Amino acid sequence: MKVVLLRDVPKIGKKGEIKNVSDGYARNFLIPKGLALEATPKVLKRLEDERKKAEEEKARKKKENEEILKNLQKYFYKILVKAGESGKLFGALTSSDIADAILKFSGIKIDKKHIILDKPIKNVGIYDILIKFPEGVSGKIKVEVVQEGKN
């Protein structure tokens, strides 16, 4: 019997695959447990429609993320921090602090997990910060870390 897997099933296949399994295994285990559906033309058409809808949603999300990144790159972000005379920060500048600065300057709210830092920023200066969205959308923004009182 041909079945469409609704979830990953060990030693059988991954979600969305069409597999040939014994009738008993399908009727007594896979279908009752909600792991698979019989591969009828109606089920196959529904799954194909869902796959197309998911692809369209992914493309829409990618375009939206590209637009957000383009808007982020229009700005030069300046972050005021407390630092010693040598320019070393008291503490460190993290992705969360950068996300707050982006919101303040551009009005665009992005999740801190999309801001990629090799290591926390511990000195004043100008930095290229990698912004990485899902669907392979990534780019750099410029952030200047400035000591408070030395604008």
Q: Which residue has the higher pLDDT, 151 or 90?
A: 90
Please say whether the structural domain 2-60 has been given the CATH code 3.30.420.40: no
97 and 80 Cβ atoms separated by less than 8 Å: no
Q: What is the pLDDT of residues 84-130, one digit of tens each?
A: 888 899 889 999 999 999 999 888 899 999 999 988 899 999 999 99
pLDDT on residue 99: 93
| CB-based contacts of 130, cutoff 8 Å, min separation 6 | 115, 116, 117, 138, 139, 140
- Provide CATH 3.40.5.10 ranges for the chain: 2-60
- Provide CATH 3.10.430.100 ranges for the chain: 64-147
Task: Quote the mean pLDDT of the chain.
Answer: 91
Q: What is the pLDDT of residues 48-62, one digit of tens each?
A: 998 899 999 999 999
Instruction: Give the number of other Cβ atoms within 10 Å of residue 9's Cβ.
Output: 19
**149 — alpha (psi -120 to 50), left (phi > 0) or beta?**
left
- Name the β-bridge partners of 37: 4
The CATH number fitting domain 64-147, selected from 3.30.450.40, 3.40.50.720, 3.10.430.100, 3.40.50.300:
3.10.430.100
* Helix (H) or strand (E) segment spanning residue 85: none
5 and 12 Cβ atoms separated by less than 8 Å: yes
31 and 38 Cβ atoms separated by less than 8 Å: yes
pLDDT on residue 151: 58
Over pLDDT 90: what percentage of the chain?
68
